[in-house]
Amino acid sequence: MLKKVDPEKTETWEKLLRYYKKMKNIPLKELFKDTARFDKYSVKFDNILLDYSKNKIDGTVMSLLIELSEISGLDRAIESMFAGEKINETEDRAVLHTALRDLTNTELILDDKNILTDIRSVREKMKVFSCSVREGVFKGYTGKKITDVVNIGIGGSDLGPHMACEALKHYSDKGPRVHFVSNVDGSHITETLKHLDQETTLFLVASKTFTTQETMTNAQTAREWFLSEAKDKEYIKNHFAALSSNAEKVSQFGIDIENMFEFWDFVGGRFSLWSAIGLPVAISVGYDLYEQMLKGAEKTDIHFKNEPFVRNIPVILGLLGIWYSDFFGCECEFVLPYDQYLSRFPAFLQQLSMESNGKSVSRHGKNTGYRTAQVLMGEPGTNGQHSFYQLIHQGTHMIPSDFLCAVHPLNPVSDHHDKLLANFLSQTEALAFGRSEQEVIEKLRSEKRTENEIERISPHRVFPGDRPSNSIIYDRLTPDTLGKLIAIYEHKVFVQGVIWNIFSFDQWGVELGKELAVKVLDEIRNGNGNESYDVSTAGLISYIKEKRGF
């Protein structure tokens, strides 16, 4: 079980607070007088390099942060998670997404059962199914090959596979096209189905519970669309598969249990990419490459379990996040992939981090009183540069940012990659070291500007610098690298949750809105009285009803 240590009440926290008061006034420029800084604060793990030297840290900060992780029982927490202890206490569940990418032939006993046996057998079933869809052995009801696969799911049953299919698109040459429908807004499924053909479309209904309103609504619409052409319900088995843990509901929906790919309670939604939820990835790029992604994640698991904290990438990233959130008071963090294939990585990480650690009640059941997860956002570079980077460079907030880029491009077109790399490198340099007023004045003078102009313009062109970032460089975006990167962030989130003394694996915060929506739905559908609502909600409902002619 996880230790329950209130980090704020530890002596180390106090020491960090005192040290922060000193560190905040030492600019990065000053810290970089130490020419060994890159060697001291960078870590290599296989084909990935993390440079965290452009952070407002020194040896003392890092030792204190590591001390904090030790006091919090991080070592033991890691062991507990991998061993399948029920560390998701509020739901009484183990947290074993790591078992899904355990490709060794060992065993892992949970509730008297070797779960690796079940995991292997679902993986085998995924292998056979994905191959047969890709090779056209699995056929539609008129005997045609499947050309389009539509994954219907939301949250954890959408964000991971959607992100991974996008990230590995380069490798999907012979696979069918893969589409993702998540939003209950009818426009999402309508626009997706518009260009598809019932005879050649396969639906994967991805829902652990098989009760999620958005997913079941979209799945029903897909079923009606299919039957409008195919007519006979017998054909559903040729066009619908389920990724779920609820066999009863799957069969009630009319999906053949043969076409159900199971996963289990010990897999949380946002960590479920490694389970049957990854089936669209296997179909898109082929099972072997899908398994390479799992292998990459497994390598990160080994790194996370075995590397001392000083060289442990998820631990370092997690600690830096805490340093900025709790001591510098940063409310936001950015993840900026200089890799178009990672365009959906920030969206995936938003859920991973904010749904896991966006909590304010500690494992003691009391208000934390200190900050937990920051708001996470991001966009691929260089697009972000022409959009919101203004704020990170010259705004009033300090926003620690992770920059990611490949050394080698997957598409070596002219000098695109040189330019991408140049932008990637320059941005972190500009953020850290900025441009002083003196430098601005000299530059304007060299441009032959008048002294009046210089006086007027120069304050606006100063870059204060001293803005922290991490650089993560990988050789090229392969399935193995993608697996490693995702697992690095998963474990970063785990590290932070352990130290913040919160439960990272539940998500009670999404429940209230869902419950209220049931009541409001009745109102919208049947026009029942609205006297039990607050005046704002009641006013909005009346307005909508009036407009809809109720």
Q: Which residues bind ligand G6Q (CB under 6 A)?
A: 154-157, 207-209, 212, 215, 268-270, 355, 507
For residue 440, give the amino acid letter: V
The two most distant CA atoms of the chain are separated, in Å, by: 82
Measure the CA dihedral 161/167/172/177, to 10°.
50
Please identify, using beta-carbon distances, which residue of 24 and 514 lies nearer to ligand G6Q: 514
Catalytic site residue 208?
A: no
Exactly one of 166, 355, 379, 523 is catalytic; name it. 355
Q: Smallest gap, in angstroms, from Cβ of residue 145 to ligand G6Q?
A: 29
Kind plus residue range of the DSSP H or E element containing 375: strand 375-377
Exactly one of 386, 397, 416, 419 is catalytic; name it. 386
Q: Smallest gap, in angstroms, from Cβ of residue 272 to ligand G6Q?
A: 7
Please identify, using beta-carbon distances, which residue of 268 and 318 lies nearer to ligand G6Q: 268
Angstrom distances, CA of residue 546 to CA of 518, 520, 549: 21, 16, 5
What distance in Å separates the CA atoms of residue 279 and residue 130, rounded to the nearest whole number?
A: 7
Q: Smallest gap, in angstroms, from Cβ of residue 215 to ligand G6Q?
A: 5
Q: Smallest gap, in angstroms, from Cβ of residue 214 to ligand G6Q?
A: 8
Angstrom distances, CA of residue 78 to CA of 26, 143, 178, 323, 446: 34, 50, 35, 21, 57
Please identify, using beta-carbon distances, which residue of 69 and 507 lies nearer to ligand G6Q: 507
Q: Smallest gap, in angstroms, from Cβ of residue 333 to ligand G6Q?
A: 20
Helix residue ranges, H only, 32-170: 37-40, 59-71, 74-83, 97-100, 115-135, 159-167
Catalytic site residue 439?
A: no
Exactly one of 4, 22, 514, 519 is catalytic; name it. 514
What distance in Å separates the CA atoms of residue 228 and residue 222, rounded to the nearest whole number?
A: 10
Please identify, using beta-carbon distances, which residue of 97 and 393 lies nearer to ligand G6Q: 97
DSSP 443: H
Catalytic site residue 386?
A: yes
What distance in Å separates the CA atoms of residue 219 and residue 363, rounded to the nearest whole number?
A: 38
Within a 10 A sphere around the Cβ of 115, how many other Cβ atoms? Answer: 20
Q: Which tokens go with 307?
A: 């590397």
Q: With beta carbons less than 8 A apart as the criterion, state whether 71 and 9 touch.
A: no
Please identify, using beta-carbon distances, which residue of 48 and 164 lies nearer to ligand G6Q: 164
Active site residues: 355, 386, 514
